[in-house]
């Protein structure tokens, strides 16, 4: 397993987020990635390397130039409002919902922040762009290594990415790493790519990016959005549109779903991927399906993640794993590396 590690991920360290009506310390912390890289080193599961930087044009294959310009300059613009903002994270407070216009970018920074966001639980910090961009580098490098002959790669990075759309951030995500990896594989010669999202929360950003396309199959096993974030996307009747009709597979499950039921849904997703016969697989690897996760309500135990890796290995596809969620910090390293080890040792 070749791992591309974002050594700059710690530059994104949010102070607080809005959670259920209260300001609380951020659940998405640098310690998450620190625990994973430590566990990788302990098990000696392959090389850990630094990614090569990729040009902004690579990001523009997924994200709009207007949005990327905002992210690159957001902290400077935040400080321009008030130098004292250096000690505060930027959180949005207004959004252009329903009949309000989003085609015109406001001059007001607070309005811009709302234009490009989907929630007020995703703080933008001084190091957000650096951490997110280097994470995107990891994802694109992980995809490229597959085309160079690697059987499997891992983009070890944070902040995560699967909630980020082409022109908005949210759910702790700023750049959609899984989408960038899939697009690079296509640009590098793959005919078809599958993305499997096994995070507890639906990858709404990834779905929206590929919803009208047939060159990427998106399959997701996640919590029912009627009760869990992102709430407004992820239902089973969302199957794609236009050329993409039939290439979006959502498998929402209720809170409290057992490991047996979760694995049955995973099997459905894997069979659909096998029928699609892609040239490569990108896995949005969230381990907030863990029974001890503070934000989630599924019942997987650490040992179950070995089985996850084994099942994915049996798809027999070049596979890029991209780190997404998982907020039980003490166990995240074990759970993530169990998936990778299960994949590597599958018979």
pLDDT at 323 over 80: yes
Helix, strand and coil content of the chain, in percent to the nearest 5, comes to 40, 15, 45
Q: Give the integer Cα–Cα distance in Å for 178 and 218.
A: 11
pLDDT at 347 over 80: no
**Closest by Cα among 218, 216, 212 to 191:** 216
| Per-residue model confidence as pLDDT tens digits over 14-69 | 999 988 889 999 999 999 999 999 999 999 999 999 999 999 999 999 999 999 99
pLDDT at 3 over 90: yes
Distance from the first to the final alpha carbon of the chain: 16
Domain boundary assignment for the chain: 2-89+124-345
| Fold exhibited by the domain 2-89+124-345 | 3.40.800
**Percent of the chain with pLDDT strictly greater than 90:** 98
Helix 128-147 / helix 177-187 crossing angle, nearest 10 deg: 40
| Per-residue model confidence as pLDDT tens digits over 104-143 | 999 999 999 999 999 999 999 999 999 999 999 999 999 9
> Mean of the pLDDT values across residues 291-318?
98
- Which phi-psi region, left, alpha or beta, contains residue 108 (left: φ > 0; alpha: ψ -120 to 50)? beta
Q: Give the integer Cα–Cα distance in Å for 321 and 340.
A: 8
Catalytic residue among 144, 163, 184, 201: 163
201 is an active site residue: no
């Amino acid at each position: 397993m070749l791992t591309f590690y974002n050594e700059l991920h710690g530059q994104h360290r949010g102070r607080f987020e809005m959670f259920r009506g209260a300001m609380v310390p951020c659940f998405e912390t640098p310690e998450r990635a620190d625990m994973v890289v430590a566990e990788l080193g302990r098990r000696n599961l392959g090389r850990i390397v630094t990614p090569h930087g990729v040009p902004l044009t690579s990001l523009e294959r997924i994200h709009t130039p207007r949005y990327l310009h905002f992210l690159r300059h957001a902290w400077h613009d935040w400080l321009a409002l008030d130098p004292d903002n250096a000690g505060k994270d930027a959180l949005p407070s207004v959004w252009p919902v329903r009949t309000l216009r989003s085609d015109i970018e406001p001059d007001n920074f607070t309005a811009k922040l709302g234009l490009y966001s989907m929630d007020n639980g995703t703080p933008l910090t001084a190091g957000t762009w650096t951490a997110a961009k280097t994470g995107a580098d990891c994802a694109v490098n992980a995809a490229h290594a597959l085309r160079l002959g690697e059987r499997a790669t891992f983009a070890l990075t944070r902040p995560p990415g699967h909630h980020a759309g082409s022109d908005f951030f949210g759910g702790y995500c700023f750049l959609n790493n899984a989408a960038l990896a899939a697009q690079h594989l296509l640009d590098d010669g793959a005919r078809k790519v599958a993305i499997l999202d096994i995070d507890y929360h639906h990858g709404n950003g990834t779905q929206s990016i590929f919803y009208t396309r047939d060159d990427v199959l998106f399959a997701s096993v996640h919590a029912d959005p009627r009760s869990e974030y992102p709430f407004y996307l992820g239902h089973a009747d969302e199957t794609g549109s236009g050329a993409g009709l039939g290439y979006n597979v959502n498998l929402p499950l209720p809170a409290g779903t057992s490991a047996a039921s979760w694995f049955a849904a995973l099997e459905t997703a894997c069979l659909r991927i096998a029928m699609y016969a892609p040239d490569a697989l990108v896995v949005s690897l969230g381990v907030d399906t863990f029974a001890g996760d503070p934000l989630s309500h599924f019942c997987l135990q650490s040992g179950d993640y070995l089985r996850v890796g084994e099942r994915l290995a049996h798809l027999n596809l070049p596979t890029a794993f991209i780190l997404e969620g998982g907020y039980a910090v003490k166990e995240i390293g074990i759970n993530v590396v169990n998936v990778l080890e299960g994949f590597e040792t599958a018979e």
